[in-house]
A and B are shown apart, each in its own frame.
Chain A
Amino acid sequence: MFEIVLQISLLCVSISMLGLLYRLIKGPTVPDRVVALDAMGINLIAIMALTSMLLDTTAYLEGILLLGILSFIGTVAFSKFIEKGEVIENDRDL
């Protein structure tokens, strides 16, 4: 019973990923796409958590934390690029 619930949840998350992919490809502006990518990262966390429950393991917990950080960093990098045109400014003083 529990397994079926997990399977259904995975299915739902996957379908929502599909929707996000549509926005990612179609999204008229770049920020639309970046937000879609960010949301995909969050969805990935969900998939990871569901899978680790399904597989009955704790091996993916670091992955969940890491993905949380990376998804944030990625989104910030994109945002900075869109705003300033570069990711790492090295000569700020000049």
Chain B
Amino acid sequence: MSMLHWAVFFPFVAALFVPLMYKRFRWIHTGWFVLIIPILLFIYFFIFIPKTSNGEQVMASLAWIPSLDVNFDVYLDGLSLLFVLLITGIGALVILYSIFYLDKDKEKLHNFYVYLLIFMGAMLGLVLSDNLIVLYMFWEFTSFSSFLLIGYWHHRERSRYGAQKSMLITVLGGLSMLGGSVLLAFMGETFSVRELIGKSGELTAHPLFNATILLILLGAFTKSAQFPFHIWLPDAMEAPTPVSAYLHSATMVKAGIYLVARLSPVFAESGLWLWLIAGFGIATLFWGSFSAVKQTDLKGILAFSTISQLGMIMSLLGLGAAALHYETMNENIYMAATVAAVFHLINHATFKGSLFMAAGIIDHETGTRDIRKLGGLMNFMPITFTITLIGALSMAGVPPFNGFLSKEMFFAAMILVTEMDLFNLDTWGVLLPVIAWTGSIFTFIYSLIIAFKPFTGVFRPEMLEKKPHEAPIGMLIPPVILASLVIIFGLFPNLLASSILEPVVAAIQPGLAKNEFHVHISPWHGFQPELFMTIGVIIFGVLLYLTLNKWNKIYGILPDRLSLNSFYDSLLKGGEKVFISITKLFMTGYIRTYLVYIFLFFIVSLGFTLFWKDAFAFDSENTAPIGIYELILATIIAIGAIAILFAKSRLTSIIILGAVGYMVSIFFVLFRAPDLALTQLVIETISVALFLLCFYHLPKLPSRKEERMTFKLNNALISIGVGVIVALIALSSHSNKLFDSISGYYLENAYKEAGGKNIVNVILVDFRGLDTMFEITVLGIAALGIFAMIKLRLTRRKLTDENE
């Protein structure tokens, strides 16, 4: 157990103590205790920065199931360090924010912080583990704790709906990712990511390679809310705002991005990987920003904007994979895409976190998040307005903030795509910058909506539930910190360049020489095409924002019925209906139907096997001669058995059944089994008497006359089929005797060993006495059961006929 392991376990262990603290120290907000944990972790991980920026990695192993190659191996390089810093840093800010957001008397704080700590530990484990199975375990932990956090206010119907939806979609992806991991481990014969990266060359040629890509990407896309799996994220906004800020903007939704970045070295050789990620990313970017504009809920806008920004990061990661195909460093301008992806990942975490917190403040202080009700809050909440403005302008990509830099790098990378000569990128690649540019215009529009709609315009106090005022200082500190980071990273981007960005890029693209590239982000790089693209975005964005009321009717064109959400809903409802009807189709509740299934299966499987294996054989060599009287007696049994089917009254069938039973005993006589014959006679008589006993208790219903069994063709065919199959099997098995009987041993030894002359009885009580004992037990149970059923009738119902 190294310190790194303890760092992962620390939140889990702390979660155990949260309820205790909550019970003991009711007068202190539980969040203050919890706040210490991420701060300690952040400081601990911060110390690793010099190490990773020198290109070192920290590795520690902990045996869990060594025999299955499943070990809790932690591996800390630039990429995981970036994520752990995000998780712990934003985690600390979010907990501080939640202390002021959640009321200590009204809310169940112990639940909240336990879930949040589980989530934090799971995220840490997810980004630190090197073993695919352990990674999957933490992956599911994050889905699970996110489910709990979304459903935190479980008395609300919408919360439960959102929690269920996110659970179903992310678990679907998680399971598919498990499948992908298993395939990957099968191909590479190891669960370790680093070893798989080492083997990436031989993996590419494997026939399962493309299937693995699809499965892994399904997992990453569902987690990171990529089109068309993004639908869970807007519904997850029912969670408390700290959760939305933490899980659904900064950490969990980036787990898919982490997975893609982490496994890029394994898969990046493939064109499928590049096209899928870039294609889905860019589609998500456009669809997310397009849909964000029509939202009226602040958090709804932020959710769709998160979707769109995640799509942007994803598409950049996809394009970054192209860098592997160019050997020489001087030409390798495609690395820029990866740098842009990582840089934007950091930027997005900062500005989106602050925006969510600002939205939470507005909600907390006015009682609504609906932008149609909000307006003119600038005078009441100047600090919140400043935070929102900084965040929104950064998101829109306006110069002094960090979003501008990453958007410029994004455009630059998108323009470079058109110059690639791989995988048809030179023909179809031109679509990417065009879609990216249009998406960015919509990004600009919704950023302006967030920044100005709630704060400018007419103040309507009658629409608000509370009298608005500025938030308490503790609630403002975290977003202020994030907003100042937005400005700092915007003005001094090279703070991050060598400390964070370079090791991350080295981790995503380990094949490229480590010290040969240097990330340098300059806020001004001359009149490049991307600058004109940004200017175009700003001009079109402002124009479209001002004319928003004129053109936002286009959102009505696509009816609700055709949206992905209603598709999801109808899939659930329709699926339930279909499966219920299928179940009803074959689960009729009639035992006769089930018997038909059983016998049909019997006929089909046995008949098919006989036919397929060509097993039928008929051999008349070992047969004994048949006397004519035996023939007649057999005919009597056959006629009797058939006559039962056509008997008109029940009494007649019983009498014929008795006759058939007696005839069977005669066959025991003819075949020299006196003991069997004796037993058969007694049992036959008793069971006939029992049948007669039952008759007395049969209900006398006027509607149910005793009549001949009705003829049903299906039943007749099935019964004939069963008879034929059994006869065929009996004939074949008689003709295929492989070994002699062991009865010779009993004949010799019955008297010698056991001292009895009656072989049957010696076998029953001596050689195979155990069987007899348990058959006695069966009889005992039957007798007791009958006694109990007759005596222990607790409720005497008038109509006890089950078939009614």
Task: Say whether B626 faces chain A, with CB atoms less than 8 Å apart.
Answer: no
Task: Say whether B381 faces chain A, with CB atoms less than 8 Å apart.
Answer: no
Given contacts A21-B640, A78-B692, contact A47 B632 (CB under 8 A): no
B639 touching A21, Cβ below 8 Å: yes
Smallest beta-carbon distance A37→chain B, Å: 6
A87 touching B696, Cβ below 8 Å: yes
Task: Say whether B730 faces chain A, with CB atoms less than 8 Å apart.
Answer: no
Task: Say whether B643 faces chain A, with CB atoms less than 8 Å apart.
Answer: yes
Task: Say whether B43 faces chain A, with CB atoms less than 8 Å apart.
Answer: no
Interface bin, chain B: 35 or more
Residues of chain A lying within 8 A (CB to CB) of residue B665 = 44
User: Cα distance A13–B640 when bound, in Å?
Assistant: 17
CB closest chain-A residue, reference B658: A37
CB closest chain-A residue, reference B649: A30
Within 8 A of A (CB), among B677-693: 677-678, 681-682, 685, 688-689, 692-693
Partner-contacting stretch, out of B200-208, B393-401, B507-515, B668-676 = B668-676
Q: Which interface residue of A14, A40, A87 has the most chain B CB atoms within 10 A? A: A14
A18 touching B682, Cβ below 8 Å: no
Residue of B629, B658, B669, B681 touching A14 (CB-CB under 8 A): B629
Given contacts A62-B674, A66-B678, contact A44 B693 (CB under 8 A): no
Given contacts A55-B672, A62-B678, A77-B692, contact A24 B633 (CB under 8 A): no
User: Cα distance A25–B629 when bound, in Å?
Assistant: 21
Given contacts A40-B659, A66-B678, contact A87 B633 (CB under 8 A): no
Interface bin, chain A: 35 or more
A24 touching B655, Cβ below 8 Å: yes
A74 touching B633, Cβ below 8 Å: no
A60 touching B632, Cβ below 8 Å: no
CB closest chain-A residue, reference B643: A25
A11 touching B693, Cβ below 8 Å: no
User: Cα distance A34–B693 when bound, in Å?
Assistant: 16
Residues of chain B lying within 8 A (CB to CB) of residue A30 = 649, 651-652, 655
Task: Say whether B628 faces chain A, with CB atoms less than 8 Å apart.
Answer: yes
A18 touching B632, Cβ below 8 Å: yes
Residues of chain B lying within 8 A (CB to CB) of residue A60 = 669, 674, 677
Residues of chain B lying within 8 A (CB to CB) of residue A51 = 669-670
Bits for A36-77, please: 1 = Cβ < 8 Å to B, else 0: 110011001001100100010101101100110010011001
B662 touching A41, Cβ below 8 Å: yes
Given contacts A18-B635, A87-B689, contact A37 B674 (CB under 8 A): no
A40 touching B685, Cβ below 8 Å: no
Residues of chain A lying within 8 A (CB to CB) of residue B682 = 66, 70
Smallest beta-carbon distance B24→chain A, Å: 71
Task: Say whether B627 faces chain A, with CB atoms less than 8 Å apart.
Answer: yes
Residues of chain A lying within 8 A (CB to CB) of residue B666 = 44, 47-48
CB closest chain-A residue, reference B688: A74
Residues of chain B lying within 8 A (CB to CB) of residue A11 = 628-629, 632
Task: Say whether B656 faces chain A, with CB atoms less than 8 Å apart.
Answer: yes
A77 touching B688, Cβ below 8 Å: yes
Residues of chain A lying within 8 A (CB to CB) of residue B685 = 70, 73-74
CB closest chain-B residue, reference A88: B693
Residues of chain A lying within 8 A (CB to CB) of residue B656 = 24-25, 33
A24 touching B659, Cβ below 8 Å: yes
Residues of chain B lying within 8 A (CB to CB) of residue A25 = 639-640, 643, 647, 656
Residues of chain B lying within 8 A (CB to CB) of residue A10 = 627, 629
Task: Say whether B784 faces chain A, with CB atoms less than 8 Å apart.
Answer: no
A85 touching B655, Cβ below 8 Å: no
Residues of chain B lying within 8 A (CB to CB) of residue A48 = 666, 669, 677
Residues of chain B lying within 8 A (CB to CB) of residue A18 = 632, 635-636
Task: Say whether B532 faces chain A, with CB atoms less than 8 Å apart.
Answer: no
CB closest chain-A residue, reference B677: A63
Smallest beta-carbon distance A58→chain B, Å: 10
User: Cα distance A85–B650 when bound, in Å?
Assistant: 13
User: Cα distance A10–B633 when bound, in Å?
Assistant: 10
Smallest beta-carbon distance B658→chain A, Å: 6
User: Cα distance A48–B695 when bound, in Å?
Assistant: 32
User: Cα distance A81–B694 when bound, in Å?
Assistant: 11
B633 touching A14, Cβ below 8 Å: yes
Smallest beta-carbon distance B721→chain A, Å: 26
Q: Which interface residue of B629, B636, B643 has the most chain A CB atoms within 10 A? A: B629
B636 touching A21, Cβ below 8 Å: yes
Residues of chain A lying within 8 A (CB to CB) of residue B658 = 37, 74
Residue of A7, A33, A70, A74 touching B629 (CB-CB under 8 A): A7
B632 touching A15, Cβ below 8 Å: yes
Residues of chain A lying within 8 A (CB to CB) of residue B627 = 7, 10
CB closest chain-B residue, reference A87: B692
Within 8 A of A (CB), among B615-651: 627-629, 632-633, 635-636, 639-640, 643, 647, 649, 651
Smallest beta-carbon distance A5→chain B, Å: 13
Residues of chain B lying within 8 A (CB to CB) of residue A47 = 633, 666, 669
Given contacts A74-B688, A86-B696, contact A17 B678 (CB under 8 A): no
Bits for B297-337, please: 1 = Cβ < 8 Å to A, else 0: 00000000000000000000000000000000000000000
A63 touching B651, Cβ below 8 Å: no
B652 touching A59, Cβ below 8 Å: no
User: Cα distance A25–B80 when bound, in Å?
Assistant: 88
Residue of B640, B652, B681 touching A66 (CB-CB under 8 A): B681
User: Cα distance A51–B671 when bound, in Å?
Assistant: 10
CB closest chain-A residue, reference B637: A21
Smallest beta-carbon distance A26→chain B, Å: 9
Residues of chain B lying within 8 A (CB to CB) of residue A63 = 669, 674, 677-678, 681
Given contacts A25-B643, A59-B674, contact A17 B692 (CB under 8 A): no
Residue of A37, A67, A88 touching B655 (CB-CB under 8 A): A37
User: Cα distance A60–B677 when bound, in Å?
Assistant: 9
User: Cα distance A32–B259 when bound, in Å?
Assistant: 87
Given contacts A70-B681, A81-B692, contact A21 B659 (CB under 8 A): yes
User: Cα distance A52–B635 when bound, in Å?
Assistant: 22
User: Cα distance A11–B665 when bound, in Å?
Assistant: 18
User: Cα distance A88–B322 when bound, in Å?
Assistant: 93
Smallest beta-carbon distance B437→chain A, Å: 93
A33 touching B655, Cβ below 8 Å: yes
CB closest chain-A residue, reference B665: A44
User: Cα distance A85–B685 when bound, in Å?
Assistant: 18
Smallest beta-carbon distance A67→chain B, Å: 6
Chosen A-B contacts, 14 in total, with CB atoms closer than 8 Å, are: A11-B629, A21-B640, A25-B639, A33-B652, A34-B655, A36-B659, A40-B659, A60-B674, A63-B678, A73-B685, A74-B685, A81-B651, A81-B692, A87-B692
B-binding residues in A (CB < 8 A): 7, 10-11, 13-15, 17-18, 21, 24-25, 30, 33-34, 36-37, 40-41, 44, 47-48, 51, 55, 57, 59-60, 62-63, 66-67, 70, 73-74, 77-78, 81, 85-88
Instruction: Sort A-B residue pairs by CB-CB distance and give the 7 closest, nearest first.
Output: A14-B632, A10-B629, A59-B674, A14-B629, A86-B696, A70-B685, A25-B643
Beyond the given pairs A18-B636, A60-B677, A73-B689, 11 more chain A to chain B contacts, judged by CB atoms under 8 angstroms and listed by A's residue number, are A11-B629, A13-B629, A14-B636, A17-B632, A21-B636, A63-B669, A66-B681, A70-B681, A73-B685, A85-B696, A86-B696
